Amino acid sequence: MKKHIARFLHEEDGVTALEYGLLAAVIAGILVTVGRTQITNFFTSLFATLASLVTEATTPPS
């Protein structure tokens, strides 16, 4: 049992995946912080356009 625990503690394969995950989280956090205004404008415009399209599609013809 000690042998298996020692091997697990010295194994470094999972560390690489964890490092990539942390790096991706940091980059995503920076992008959201820096581009907050642009992201807000993009989604506001997107949902306004979608709302307009849904309204046009569900409004009966006159």
2, part of any domain = no
Please check the confidence at residue 60 and state whether its pLDDT lies above 80. Answer: yes
Mean pLDDT of 24-43: 94
47, part of any domain = yes
29, part of any domain = yes
pTM: 0.52
Apex 2 CA angle, 15 and 12, nearest 5: 10
What span, in angstroms and rounded, lies between the C-alpha atoms of 43 and 18? 31
Residue whose C-alpha is closest to residue 30's, from 39, 18, 41: 39
Please check the confidence at residue 15 and state whether its pLDDT lies above 80. Answer: no
10, part of any domain = no
1, part of any domain = no
44, part of any domain = yes
Per the prediction, the chain carries an average pLDDT of 88
Residue 41's domain comprises 16-58
4, part of any domain = no
Please check the confidence at residue 47 and state whether its pLDDT lies above 90. Answer: yes
Is residue 35 a contact partner of residue 42, using CB atoms and an 8 Å limit? no
Please check the confidence at residue 61 and state whether its pLDDT lies above 70. Answer: yes
> Nearest 5°: phi and psi at 47?
-70, -30
Number of domains in the chain: 1
Beta strands in the chain (DSSP E): none
Q: So what's the pLDDT on residue 57?
A: 93
